[in-house]
């Protein structure tokens, strides 16, 4: 196909350097793509659910991370296969949009592809399959909305939010402390949430990690924690009623952007320059001091002399505060970020109840806590744990929980977990399939089978017999017309997920099904893969 | 290829590998247990040391380390196995957090996994094992806290406890024969800090020569520097100015400045101006009326001479840490500008006597009778640098434990007593729990009991017999019994005075079980293709 002949029998090249390219076409391409994507989904499927296992990932530099979070796993696996990469992006877009359910979405896509493979074997055209999936997806989404329930997030001391957070944390290594961590996450989100607008700016929640202690020692600080200490060892370690001056200019003589030269040609000039230089420092400190500030935080470094002058003027200061921290502090304390010393005015200072240094462990590491900020709209979650890997995983888990809570604040509709929602949708899709008279019927039916795959996988991971427990749950759902029947993963003795209080957000479930369907459709449309040979 | 025989497309990068299920688990167990086995012979008072030899070319690579400290051994090891890396990580964290028990934590995690492996072979799902461990950990922790005792910080008992704890910590180290001496030394040093946890104030100076016995605690502060030639060697009632300022020449800090002259005369003028500037600075310093001037940076001859002429003793090149210590000890402020001589009273540090002393063959400066009496110096002597390094690490361990104890105040009996009690608690709990978790709880108890077992084995005693007797003693209600490692019997810990800090045990238990849980949960190991490095 790369070589064609024109009317005179002369060959001409359609695809250049064909010999150096790998090419797959038609059914072979479909199958290869599907198998690659399935391989990724298979890796993730054992991580699904509360009894899911973790994956250990070794980076190219030999660093180890252990995680249960789907998005992190696929990201760190460094997948090379082009189609499998689509699944990586799928997981990541779920992470970016919703923050939770990153494993579920990949597993669902894997199940859909598995079904697609059998349909292809039956000789159904890929586009028909994808049409069928599309229609089934719409039905499922509609049904999800009908079975979703609105919950009162503030009732009973935010119990619903805590439960939802617990569901998200249940599958992680920190699950033992899910209740405590869930509460921390809920308090953190509610502290910064704008309930009137139903919006949460997650930037206001800072997650700081520190190895040592145990996961139980994780706590919420109603303020900001920065990994810095005072610029001079003898500055006071605690400032009460702090008036914070936030600077983004260094305590150094100015460096104009324009290229310039100062030429000194006489001793007088030299002396003048010296005096001028001294004056710079004195002025700078004076400007800060005069504004009434009693602590200065600076994004840049200090000159030794300036540092000492600050100490002499009893003005504690912190240098090299990172840009994100500066913004966070500005938001929390109501300070304005000041880019030039001349612009310091008392109104621009931020206020906080207390700024103090805290010390951890035996190594001499200190952190700075800014507490009781004027606008308490920023909090820090300080995560502790026995090793770097645990701390990192705890951070990812708490991030998931925070996302779930945020989604609930945005949209307080929930569905029940434990595979019950998928099962209910599967039943609905199956009913719809019978009404369709075209080829798509098969695809729609397969979609229902794929949805059932999720509770199957959950049951499998929990050591239950997947076929029996799913069949049992399905029968009960049909009999009692109760969409809340799922898999009893925790062996609590009930399969009604409302009783088990396994909450998942509607938005997350909806997104999962939609994204998975989209990606599967995309994979099914590829009938030709051209890649360089050495790739 | 999958089970059916389809050739699967390659998903990962070329040299990347993926191990699943049993294979992955096997890999983690093997790695973690290997690491634990490696350090376990160093455990306890009869534990042996290890020689660490760096690999690679070059002269500096021939320097070996002889040590008994778990964290040091593990830190210097290069391992590829990811599970082993986790164990090393928790050992490091233990070192940072409490400073001691770094071997225990790795061994305990390893033993837990060894027990875990047996349970997996019995077809118990990892999640069940973890569920059991979690129950066991809580039970053990509760028992540990219950058996700990607390004394008032100012009481004589507390002081005795500290000495005992230091003795226990040091008994597993090289200096075990002199442990009483060093325990006393460490306790005195820590008590000087008066509850502050800043180890910086305790300076350790290592000087080869003499024997370990010649080490001593100096109540003053010793700076490993010399007094500049031509200055007084002994200053009484010193007023010290501590500075961090350039005393060579002042750089012009305004950006883009260039000196351009057109004649030799001008050069001379500039030079004079520069000299005058320095003179000016020295004059400003003199206004503070110090008798001793300590600077972090180098001091050129000219200002040095000016200062010496005014009868001021000059110490240059003090390193940053040394400076901070001098400042903290003498109550001085570290100055970089000298425009406020009226604050002289506040910024100058004081001490009764500064003199140059000789330790071994080295000249040092000693500050005695400082304003703030917190700082002190431990001078270590020993036959070789290897011994000194090891003694330094041991003393550091002891100091860390003592500081942690001063903060936490709670103590438990040593000699394996706490581990045996925790193990007993786990076994009691296992009898009450229904379901498979009970096996895991029992296993947790067995892993805990391994710690005293290994200590016995390392001492060359019959561990099976001793541990059984130990169990019986505890059962009888003799709650202070423990291993007497000198006689190889079960002794009374309150008579032997073997105590340990609760916080260290707590942290070891929590970190080890967290790590074991982390490794147990893994069912898939993906190793990315190693980054290609360009050979230089």
**From the list B90, B269, B529, which residue is nearest A387 (CB)?**
B90
Predicted model pTM:
0.83
User: Which of the 8 DSSP states describes residue A348?
Assistant: G
Q: Does the pLDDT value for residue B246 go beyond 80?
A: no
What confidence score (pLDDT) does residue B536 get? Answer: 53
β-strand pairing of A295-298 with A238-247: parallel
Retrieve residue B161's tokens: 């406890």
What confidence score (pLDDT) does residue A484 get? Answer: 87
d(CA B425, CA B415): 17
Given A72, A83, A103, A517, the catalytic residue: A103
SS3 A329: helix
What confidence score (pLDDT) does residue A503 get? Answer: 85
| ipTM at complex level | 0.79
d(CA B388, CA B405): 25
Q: pLDDT band at residue B372, thresholds of 50, 70 and 90?
A: low
DSSP string covering A153-190? TTHHHHHHHHHHHHHHHTTSGGGGGHHHHHHHHHHHHH
What residue of A is the nearest CA neighbor of B404? A362
Q: Is A211 one of the annotated active-site residues of the chain?
A: no
Q: Does the pLDDT value for residue B447 go beyond 90?
A: yes
**Quick one: average pLDDT of B463-492?**
87
Average per-residue pLDDT in chain B? 82
Are B212 and B262 in contact by the 8 Å Cβ rule? The answer is no
The enclosing H or E element of B391 equals helix B385-408
B15 chain-A contacts, CB cut-off 8 A:
none
Contact B93 A388 (CB under 8 A): yes
What confidence score (pLDDT) does residue A444 get? Answer: 93
CB neighbour class for B214 (10 Å; exposed up to 12, middle 13-18, buried from 19): middle
Residues 185-224 of B with CB under 8 A from A: 197-200
**Quick one: average pLDDT of B393-412?**
86
What confidence score (pLDDT) does residue B249 get? Answer: 66
Identify from A24, A46, A386 which residue to disrupt to test chain B contact, counting B C-beta atoms within 10 A and taking the largest count.
Answer: A386
Identify from A27, A277, A358, A387 which residue to disrupt to test chain B contact, counting B C-beta atoms within 10 A and taking the largest count.
Answer: A387
**From the list A56, A61, A307, which residue is nearest B522 (CB)?**
A56
Residues 222-261 of A with CB under 8 A from B: 232-234, 252-256, 259-261
Q: Is B19 one of the annotated active-site residues of the chain?
A: no
**How far apart are the CA of B425 and the nearest CA of chain A, in angstroms?**
20
What confidence score (pLDDT) does residue B140 get? Answer: 93
Provide CB contacts within 8 A for A190, sequence distance 6+. A158, A161, A405
Q: Is A102 one of the annotated active-site residues of the chain?
A: yes
Q: Does the pLDDT value for residue B22 go beyond 90?
A: no
Q: Does the pLDDT value for residue B1 go beyond 50?
A: no
What confidence score (pLDDT) does residue A217 get? Answer: 81
Q: pLDDT band at residue B250, thresholds of 50, 70 and 90?
A: low
Q: What is the pLDDT of residues B32-84, one digit of tens each?
A: 999 999 888 888 888 888 888 877 666 666 678 888 888 888 888 888 888 89
- Which residues of chain A are modeled with pLDDT < 70? 1-2, 15-21, 254-257, 360-365, 376, 533-535
**How far apart are the CA of A169 and the nearest CA of chain B, in angstroms?**
15
DSSP-H helix ranges across A367-434: 388-410, 420-433
Are A352 and A306 in contact by the 8 Å Cβ rule? The answer is no
């Amino acid at each position: 196909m790369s070589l064609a002949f024109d009317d005179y029998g002369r060959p001409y090249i359609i695809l250049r350097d064909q010999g150096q390219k790998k090419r797959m076409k038609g059914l072979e391409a479909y199958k290869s793509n599907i198998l690659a994507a399935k391989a990724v989904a298979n890796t993730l499927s054992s991580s699904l659910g509360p009894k899911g296992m973790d994956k250990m990932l070794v980076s190219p530099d030999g660093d180890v991370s252990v995680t249960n979070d789907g998005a992190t796993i696929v990201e760190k696996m460094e997948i090379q296969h082009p189609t499998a990469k689509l699944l990586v992006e799928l997981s990541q877009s779920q992470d970016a949009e919703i923050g939770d359910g990153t494993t579920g979405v990949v597993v669902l896509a894997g199940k859909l592809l598995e079904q697609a493979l059998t349909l292809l074997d039956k000789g159904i055209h890929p586009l028909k399959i994808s049409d069928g999936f599309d229609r089934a997806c719409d039905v499922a989404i509609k049904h999800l909305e009908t079975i979703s329930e609105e919950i009162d997030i503030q009732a009973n001391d935010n119990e619903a939010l805590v439960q939802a957070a617990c569901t998200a944390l249940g599958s992680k290594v920190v699950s033992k402390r899910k209740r405590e961590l869930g509460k921390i996450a809920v308090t953190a989100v509610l502290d910064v949430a704008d309930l009137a607008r139903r919006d949460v700016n997650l930037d206001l929640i800072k997650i700081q990690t520190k190895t040592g202690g145990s996961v139980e020692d994780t706590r919420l600080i109603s303020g900001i924690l920065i990994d810095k200490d005072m610029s001079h060892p003898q500055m006071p370690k605690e400032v009460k009623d702090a008036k914070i001056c936030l600077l983004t200019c260094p305590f150094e003589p100015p460096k104009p952007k324009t290229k310039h030269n100062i030429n000194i040609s006489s001793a007088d000039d030299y002396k003048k320059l010296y005096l001028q230089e001294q004056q710079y420092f004195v002025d700078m400190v004076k400007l800060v001091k005069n504004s009434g500030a009693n602590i200065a935080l600076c994004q840049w470094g200090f000159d030794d002399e300036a540092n000492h002058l600050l100490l002499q003027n009893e003005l504690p200061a912190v240098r090299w505060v990172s840009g994100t921290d500066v913004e966070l502090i500005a938001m929390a304390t109501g300070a304005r970020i000041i880019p030039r010393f001349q612009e310091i005015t008392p109104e621009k200072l931020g206020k906080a109840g207390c700024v103090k240094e805290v010390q951890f462990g035996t190594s001499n590491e200190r952190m700075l806590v800014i507490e009781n900020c004027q606008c308490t709209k920023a909090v820090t979650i300080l995560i502790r744990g026995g090793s770097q890997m645990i701390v990192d995983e705890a951070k990812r888990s708490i991030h998931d929980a925070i996302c779930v809570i945020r989604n609930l604040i945005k949209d307080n509709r929930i569905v029940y977990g434990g595979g019950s929602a998928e099962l209910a949708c599967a039943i609905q899709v199956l009913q719809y399939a019978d009404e369709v008279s075209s080829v798509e019927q098969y695809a729609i039916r397969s979609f229902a089978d794929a949805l059932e795959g999720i509770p199957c996988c959950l049951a499998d991971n929990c050591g239950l017999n997947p076929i029996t427990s799913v069949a049992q749950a399905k029968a009960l759902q049909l009999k009692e017309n109760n969409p809340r029947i799922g898999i009893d993963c925790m062996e609590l003795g009930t399969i009604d997920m409302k009783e088990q209080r396994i909450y998942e957000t509607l938005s997350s479930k909806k997104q999962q099904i939609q994204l998975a369907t989209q990606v599967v459709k995309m994979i099914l449309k590829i009938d030709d893969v051209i890649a360089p040979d050495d790739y | 290829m999958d089970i059916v025989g389809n050739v699967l497309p390659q998903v990962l990068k070329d040299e990347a590998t993926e191990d699943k299920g049993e294979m992955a688990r096997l890999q983690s167990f093997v790695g973690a247990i290997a690491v634990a086995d490696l350090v376990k012979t160093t455990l306890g008072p009869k534990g042996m040391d290890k020689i660490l030899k760096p690999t690679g070319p070059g002269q500096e690579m021939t320097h070996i380390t002889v040590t008994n400290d778990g964290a040091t051994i593990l830190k210097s090891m290069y391992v590829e196995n990811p599970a082993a890396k986790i164990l090393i990580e928790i050992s490091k964290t233990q070192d940072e957090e409490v400073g001691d028990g770094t071997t225990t934590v790795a061994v305990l995690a390893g033993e837990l996994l060894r027990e875990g492996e047996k349970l997996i072979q019995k077809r118990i799902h990892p999640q069940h094992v973890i569920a059991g461990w979690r129950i066991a950990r809580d039970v053990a922790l509760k028992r540990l806290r219950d058996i700990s005792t607390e004394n008032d910080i100012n009481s004589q008992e507390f002081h005795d406890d500290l000495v005992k704890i230091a003795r226990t910590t040091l008994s597993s180290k090289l200096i075990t024969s002199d442990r009483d001496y060093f325990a006393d030394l460490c306790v005195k040093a820590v008590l000087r800090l008066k509850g502050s946890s800043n180890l910086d104030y305790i300076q350790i100076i290592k000087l080869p020569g003499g024997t370990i016995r010649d080490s001593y605690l100096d109540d003053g502060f010793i700076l490993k520097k010399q007094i500049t030639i031509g200055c007084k060697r002994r200053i009484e009632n010193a007023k010290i100015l501590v500075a961090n300022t350039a005393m060579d020449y002042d750089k012009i800090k305004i950006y883009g400045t260039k000196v351009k002259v057109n004649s030799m005369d001008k050069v001379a003028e500039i030079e004079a101006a520069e000299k005058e500037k320095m003179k000016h600075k020295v004059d400003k310093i003199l206004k503070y009326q110090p008798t001793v001037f300590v600077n972090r940076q180098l001091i050129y001859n000219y200002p040095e001479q000016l200062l010496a002429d005014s009868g001021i003793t000059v110490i240059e090149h003090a390193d940053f840490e040394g400076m901070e210590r001098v400042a903290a000890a003498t109550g001085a402020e570290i100055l970089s500008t000298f425009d406020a001589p009226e604050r002289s009273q506040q910024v100058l540090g004081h001490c009764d006597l500064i003199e140059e002393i000789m330790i071994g063959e080295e000249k040092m400066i000693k500050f005695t009778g400082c304003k703030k009496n917190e700082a002190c110096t431990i001078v270590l002597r020993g036959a070789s640098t290897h011994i000194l390094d090891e003694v330094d690490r041991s003393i550091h361990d002891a100091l860390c434990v003592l500081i942690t104890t001063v903060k936490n105040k709670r103590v438990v009996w040593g000699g394996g007593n706490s581990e045996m009690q925790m193990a007993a608690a786990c076994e009691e709990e296992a009898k009450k729990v229904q379901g498979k978790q009970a096996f895991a709880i029992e296993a947790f108890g067995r892993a805990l009991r391994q710690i005293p077992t290994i200590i016995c084995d390392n001492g060359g005693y019959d561990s099976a017999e001793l541990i059984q007797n130990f169990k019986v003693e505890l059962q009888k209600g003799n709650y202070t019994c423990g291993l007497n490692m000198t006689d190889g019997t079960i002794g009374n810990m309150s008579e032997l005075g073997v105590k340990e800090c609760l916080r260290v045990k707590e942290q070891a238990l929590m970190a080890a079980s967290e790590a074991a849980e982390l490794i147990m949960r893994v069912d898939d190991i993906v190793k990315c293709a190693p980054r290609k490095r360009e050979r230089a």
